[in-house]
Structure formats: C-alpha cells, structure tokens
Amino acid sequence: MEPDAALKILRRGTEEIITEDDLKTKLASGRKLRVKLGVDPTRPDLHLGHAVVLRKMRQFQELGHKVILLIGDFTGMIGDPSGRSKTRPPLTLEETRRNAQSYVEQARKILLQDHEVFELRYNSEWLGKLTFEEVIHISAQMTVAQMLEREDFKKRYTEGVPIGIHEFLYPLAQGYDSVALEADVEMGGTDQKFNLLVGRDLQKFYGQEPQVLVLMPLLVGLDGVEKMSKSLDNYVGVSEEPAVMFKKLMRVPDAVLADYFRLLTDLEPAEVEAVVEKGGMVGAHRVLARLLTAAYAREVIPAWLDRAFYESLGYRLEEAGRDREPQAPQEAELARIVRQAEARYDEVAKGGVPDDIPTVEVDPAELKDGAIWVARLFTLAGLTRSNGEARRLIQNRGLRLDGEVITDPQLQVTLDRPRILRRGKDKFVRVRLKGSPLS
C-alpha cells in the first residue's frame, strides 16, 4: 500500500501523531515497522477504552507491520504515576505476571497472534539486568525541572503531596523500553504523552532513530464524564456476554455517541451522520450496539468494523437501525446472537422478564414460619451485597418482587412458588425453595 493511503488509515481516530512526516517516512521505507504498546499489568481487565489503542495496533498488523505487546512486569513494581494524585502501591513480580496473563488472553480477541506480526515481551528482560551505573547514566538525561513539567507531578508538588524518587524513574524505565526494543512507533493514550516523549529522547541518546508517537484519545465511559474505567463502573468489557454488551451500548450518552463510532468502528463520518439523521439517536445506538456486539462475540474481531461487516449480519445501513430482523445474513450465527441480545433488551425495556434469567435455590432453613425477610432474600439471590444495602434500595423504590415495587423493608416473602426478583431496570433472578418444583 502506498504510504499516503496507509497514513490515511492510521491517522483516523488519533489525537496526535509525533510526527506525521516521520511516520510517512518510515512507512515509505518499505520495511516492517516495530510498533510498541506498553501494558500496565495492574489493571488486567480489558474494556472498550483499551480497544481504542489495540484496534489501532491491529491496523498496523493488517498493513504488514509487527506489533509488540510489552508487559510492564518490572515497571509494575514501580507503579505508573500518570494521572495519579498519590503514590501507587507497587506490585510483586509474581502479581504482575499473573495479571499480565489475563491481559494477554483478552487482547487475543483484537490482536492477531501470528509471529510475523505479533511479539510478546516483558520488560524485566532488560530492566532487571541494568547496573546501578547504567541507571545513573539514564537518569542523567532528565532534570528534576523536566519531571515537574508533568501535570500530575506539578500538582502533587504544589499541594505538598509526597513524590517518591522511584516515581521519577518510571518514565525513564518506560523510555528505555523503546531503546531495548528499537521501537519505530509507540502507541498510547493522551495521558502517556510525557512518558512516550522520554522514549524518543533516550533513543536519540543511544544513537537510534526516534520513535513516532501515535496518541489515541481516552474513551469517555457510560457516565459521559470520566474516562472508561472498571473501578468507576462506567465500562463495557471486551469479554462481556452479548446481551450485557448490547444493553450497555444502548446506554451510551447521546453527547459522546459520535466518539464511540469514531474510535470503536470504521464507519465513515458521513455514514454515521446519515444513520443519526434517518434513525435518530435510538436508531444510531442500535447500529452501534449491533456492530460491536457482533464483533466482540467472535473469537477474534474483524479487521474492519465497517459497513460491509454490519451488512454481513443481514441489516441494511440505510435503515439506520430501524430494521428489526436481519435478512439473509452471511454471518448467520453472529446475526442470531445479536438478534437474541436485542430481543432481550427490548423485552426488558417493555417491562417484561427475559427467559434466560438465573435461578437461585433457597435453603428451607432460611425460612421462619414459612417466610423469609425480603432483604435477606435479595442478598441470598446475589442482587445486593448485604441486607443493609437491600433495605436502602427498598427505601429508594429500587427493588421489585414479581413486578411490583417493594415499599415495606420488613416484608416477609413466602416461597410456595417461584418468585421473580428485580433490581433496577435489568437485573433479574428467579428464586425458589430448594427441592420444590420448577413451576
């Protein structure tokens, strides 16, 4: 592929490329580029925020280049200070390796694993062998003033929050990774810009051609405010069950829907605009949910999440999400999975009870005088963490029994028949007495 055409593909969805001219020159060289992504092993669960960067890595693979998934098992023992208001607790080498295994398994859903285009490395391979003299030489390439230019360090210093010397070593260690790997390109989120720039400087110091930085935007989570994070519970996991993924994607705030299309799909901007214009925001949400639910239901997502893939499911993009049943899908099994997930979403939205809800059996010993306290019942069913939480939700009208809002926190419930418990809009559990008939 011509360098200009390849650059057009790679430029899409990026926040910044440092520099585009350097990337074009590297692409024009005709050699296989080494594209690095450093992975923080303290957060092993992947969500669609991670997929933004990983899909860009996949595009490099599709263009014939080799991506290097670098597990920061050694730097994980330091703790990345990026965006932190206080020192992050370090992990042991064993903990970082264990977390890394989970990360790699999930990343296989997005990245090709062929050795020609994929390499897995651990930075303990070289960082663990550096002598103290070498660490001093590396540290001499940065000043304290430069370190304090980082917004997170500057804020902590101004507020009198302690900064460990070891935290200053983190960007230097990450930068040295690029030297050890002779990286041509390094990927990262915008919050990693400082660290990635250190890599360019260290490569120059060691006589290497500086890497190109490809910085991706941070995906806003389902709350529409903060970046996607499992700890904030505003995430969509890459390994979610299809019905859960579809439901979550239908909850994407309207204000950030365009960003989800831009960063997570390959639909053209004009196509997205046409979908919104014809199908409205609900129709556009359905298109997004169908596209991503189908893609991540596969063992490995398609190379391109575009119009061709959407229409292979039997839907027509011109219908803008208003065609409820796929017609003659090429991807019949994926179409079935998406249709089932969408039907479940619609059923719940209408106030119905899905067929595929879990069943929990209650031990007869839990009953007193033939009944059980409602708060205890919801806790046994796993819908609340404690009786106290159940009581608070009842006071806020957040729990239902057989479709009816529970208003009495002291209610005693009989289990002479299966009962349907519901929390919020879409969390259901069927409970029955152990040993009793199913219906």
- Give the separation between CA 135 and CA 320, rounded to whole angstroms: 57
Cα 82 → chain centroid: 18
The residues pairing with 108 across neighbouring beta strands, listed in sequence order, are none
Q: What pLDDT, on a 0 to 100 scale, did the predictor assign at position 438?
A: 55
- Give the separation between CA 48 and CA 295, rounded to whole angstroms: 12
Backbone angles phi, psi at 309, to 5 degrees: -70, -45
CA 208 vs CA 107, 137, 138, 195: distances in Å: 29, 16, 15, 17
CA 307 vs CA 181, 185, 291, 344: distances in Å: 37, 29, 9, 24
The arrangement of strands across the sheet holding 185-189 comes to 16-18, 212-216, 185-189, 34-39, 66-71, 118-122
Dihedral, 273, 278, 283, 289 alpha carbons, nearest 10: -40
Low-confidence residues in the chain, pLDDT < 70: 42-44, 78-91, 351, 436-439
Burial label, 280 (beta-carbon count in 10 A; 0-12, 13-18, 19+): middle
Asked if residues 60 and 185 have their Cβ atoms less than 8 Å apart, the reply is yes
* Beta strand 185-189 pairing with 212-216: parallel
Q: Which amino acid is at 262?
A: R
Backbone angles phi, psi at 229, to 5 degrees: -160, 135
Asked if residues 81 and 170 have their Cβ atoms less than 8 Å apart, the reply is yes
pLDDT single digits (tens) 71-82? 888 887 765 544
Q: Count CB-CB contacts under 10 A for residue 141.
A: 16
Q: What pLDDT, on a 0 to 100 scale, did the predictor assign at position 83?
A: 45
3-state percent helix, strand, coil for the chain, nearest multiple of 5:
45, 15, 40
Q: What pLDDT, on a 0 to 100 scale, did the predictor assign at position 345?
A: 86
- Give the separation between CA 155 and CA 161, rounded to whole angstroms: 8
* Beta strand 118-122 pairing with 66-71: parallel
Report residue 96 as tokens.
């970082």
Q: What pLDDT, on a 0 to 100 scale, did the predictor assign at position 84?
A: 44
- The closest of 289, 212, 215 to 257, measured between CA atoms, is 289
Report residue 59 as tokens.
């595009």
Q: What pLDDT, on a 0 to 100 scale, did the predictor assign at position 103?
A: 84
Asked if residues 35 and 65 have their Cβ atoms less than 8 Å apart, the reply is yes
